[in-house]
Chains A and B, each alone.
Chain A
Amino acid sequence: MKKILLALSTAAVISLAASAAQAATKVCFVYIGSKTDGGWTQAHDIGRQELQNHFGDKVETVFLENVAEGPDSERAIERFARSGCELIFTTSFGYMDPTLKVAKKFPKVKFEHATGYKTADNVTSYNSRFYEGRYIQGQIAGAVSEKGVAGYIASFPIPEVVQGINAFLLGAQSVNPDFEIKVVWVNTWFDAGKEADAAKALIDQGVDVLTQHTDSTGPMQVASERGVKAFGQASDMIAAGPDTQLTAIVDTWGAYYIKRVQALMDGTWESQSTWDGLVDGILTMAPYTNMPDDVKQAAMETEAKITNGELKPFTGPVTKQDGSEWLKAGESADDGTLLGMNFYIKGVDDKLPN
């Protein structure tokens, strides 16, 4: 009896000690690229660092970089779930199904998947309304472009990217109704060489402002060399084009990560589908540079209007590329339509691949 008691008390002491050591909440991140890619993954990693700085010793953050989508990602996520992570952020669209599979096996662990559309009891999906920033960019492009044509380097024809192209064009047309966009699909998220080639091709076709939905600074560098203006993507790319960048959509995930980890610590974490925008601070605009003051003023006003909800980028009248009416005057698109968007609006000089 005595021995059993002793054993029990020892076990209790050990488990107490263990729980004291585990006081730090372990938060884990799976990255698709390198954490210094200058774009998408770097933005997530900056978010992770902000999270770490905010909570100090109270959280432990771990990450895996360059994790390929598919079976490799499922293993990486499972490894995290097994190694004591309490909250796991999986930061690429292709991690969606693997995240759900692992989440099913580990109901006590919480998961958050970026830019997807599926959720579960312990899986939240979170995304950012990048298109709000693209509308502002479009407006700037409409004002600074002399030819009225912008070049758009696009990754994959998924709804998020199509949304961005349309939002950019709507912004531009609010200044110049005849504005047009030329699109090049590079079929990659990150390939500096391919993106730079696309930028060259677009400039050769006569565009005088460039924007991109890919992650490298390749296009910004080409734009600098060729003397056209450009917008940065995911991270502030001003270093790659000090005299070129007009502004950039900067993904600022840190605030969101802090909010969710706080909820986990408070025991109020719940599965949800989040689609935050400028107002929530999940994306911010890099300083407006290399443009006339009146354009800058207009951009800042638009940003303020989107932030306070006065302006919704997808508001009618909007005509689809095929000439049919999409939104009546004053009508705003609902989130469901935006999330499944697979058509262009009028003024895109491209055929949507399908």
Chain B
Amino acid sequence: MRIELERRPSHSALFSILSPFIALGLTIIAGIILFTIMDKNPIDALYSFFIEPLTEVWSLHELAIKASPLILIAVGLSVCFRSNNWNIGAEGQFIMGGVAGSAIPILFHEWNSFLVLPMMLIMGMIGGALYASIPALLKTRFNTNEILSSLMLVYVAQLALDWIVRGPWRNPEGYNFPESRSFELQAVLPELLPASGRANFGIVFAILATIVAWFMMRHMLKGFEVSVLGQSARAGRFAGFSANKMVFFAFIFSGALAGLAGISEVSGSIGRLQPVISPGYGFTAIIVAFLGRLNPLGIFAAGIILALTYLGGEAAQISIGLPDKIARVFQGFLLFFVLACDTLIHYRVRFKFTDRTSSSVEGA
């Protein structure tokens, strides 16, 4: 017996809209079973996961902090993925953006000017973009597989950051601990509403990036070019679009946004450079991009929901003693059901009860 996914000739518009809600429903049902097996009250658990983090203002701030790097990176990646370029190395571009942007407050820490912060942000974007252009160059010049080269560069970036905070940029007054000096006030991304929580301008950048990317994909020639080249490079060539230029555009666009996310995180949330600045945002953002169906607006929602499950997982650990691992499993359920529902809208599952010979004939 073989199981095959067969593309549906047309997919139901109704179910496309309903799909996320069906997925949520299935997640909740699976969650209830899981929590009951774990001997926890499922109502309490679900409340902790989805409601409790939304009931307090400080928690909403935390939600924004957690979601904004995910959204920023994922929006960039969506454009890249739409153009059929596979940048898996956003984590590395995030790190390099953080490093490049930190050069000013670390090397010129006494320079106090309103220019410091904007320059940091710009350098962060440049850092991420330049780092992303390496796999683009390798792809266009040597036909290297960009999935591998961009992924491998993540590890290079992690080690480079590790080296720089232990070596040249180590805080001279820090007892030899591996971290840079703390950023001065002029180099810290300001908080939006300091009275109620610590959310910073990162979420504003995320919103802006979402709008810009949405507008570009929907209303600009560049967006059309991305889609055409992504769906058929040959058709794109007939339209006069250059596939090589698109590779660079896609990588630089996504790299710049990842770099912006990196420097925003370092400047706004951490306040200095340290050996690890990301709990895997660059990889999680890939999930967010697909969860949002590579649509900037969908990605914004997906980023918020994923951030919510992180916060909810913590809330559930504290309020009902749900183990950390179970919280992760539940998060996995959500992703699984969303992607499964989307897949089943576009494809149907076929069980084929045929013997080998006839199936090969069918295949031919």
Contacts and interface: CB of A to CB of B under 8 A. Distances in A.
B4 interface: no
Interface in A255-307: none
A19 interface: no
B162 interface: yes
Nearest to B197: A78
Contacts of A64: 314, 317-318, 324
B113 interface: no
B166 A353 contact: yes
Interface stretch (B217-225, B232-240, B271-279): B271-279
B166 A354 contact: yes
B265 interface: yes
A342 B271 CA distance: 25
A75 B59 CA distance: 9
Contact of B271 (A83, A97, A117): A97
B176 A71 contact: no
Interface string B288-320: 000000000000000000000001001101110
A113 B167 CA distance: 26
A78 B318 contact: no
A69 B269 CA distance: 12
Interface stretch (A151-159, A169-177, A193-201, A235-243): A151-159
A82 B265 CA distance: 24
Interface residues of B, number: 33
Contacts of B314: 64, 75-76, 79
Contacts of A68: 276, 279
Given A80-B318, A83-B318, A157-B166, A94 B274 contact: yes
B241 interface: no
A71 B269 contact: yes
Given A70-B269, A70-B277, A71-B270, A340 B175 contact: yes
A34 B175 contact: no
B324 A65 contact: yes
Given A64-B324, A342-B176, 19 more contacts: A34-B324, A64-B318, A65-B317, A70-B270, A70-B274, A70-B276, A75-B311, A78-B58, A79-B314, A79-B315, A79-B318, A83-B318, A94-B274, A97-B271, A157-B166, A158-B176, A159-B175, A341-B176, A354-B176
Interface of A: 34, 62-66, 68-72, 74-76, 78-80, 82-83, 93-94, 97, 117, 156-159, 187, 339-342, 353-354
